Amino acid sequence: MAEKPYDQSFQKHMRMVPGFHYLTFGILAINVLWSFYQAIRAFSGGTVIAAALSVALVLMFFYSRIFALCVQDRVIRLEERLRMERVLPPEMRPRIAEFSAAQLVALRFASDEELPGLARKVLDERITERKAIKQLIRNWRPDFLRA
């Protein structure tokens, strides 16, 4: 189980990993700039390949994050459907299939007590934006096991 590193709320639920988001990206950005500078200053096949490689490394950085978040969202979707089967009243359970992945991902922060009413509101009012759903949550259920 993950440790509780900080209290979570709508204002403080984004996960930033300084070594990844700042240090690694900063080094890759400097490498891109330097590679393009070298390719312009001393144009050759080697400097063009180095510039292309630096762009490829930045793309790998972004895609590695995107792929991890996609897998995380799929797991959250499954977890939330299972939780809804347990928490929602019987008349709401047939509507579980109506939730989009984005709605389920946002609803994961709602407490078990708050989820039935909020789930009904999200479906009835067709609220689809993650941010809007998260802002409706009053009793925040933290998620410390995020990618």
> Each residue of 20-48: pLDDT tens digit?
888 999 999 999 999 999 999 999 999 99
- Entry pTM: 0.71
Q: Lowest-confidence range among 8-12, 67-71, 107-111, 141-145?
A: 8-12
Place of tokens 């922060």: 109
Tokens of 7: 């209290």
pLDDT band for 56, please (50, 70, 90 cuts). Answer: very high
Distance CA 145, CA 66 (A): 17
Alpha helices, DSSP H, located in the chain: 18, 25-41, 45-87, 101-107, 115-124, 130-136
- What percent of the chain is predicted at pLDDT more than 90? 76
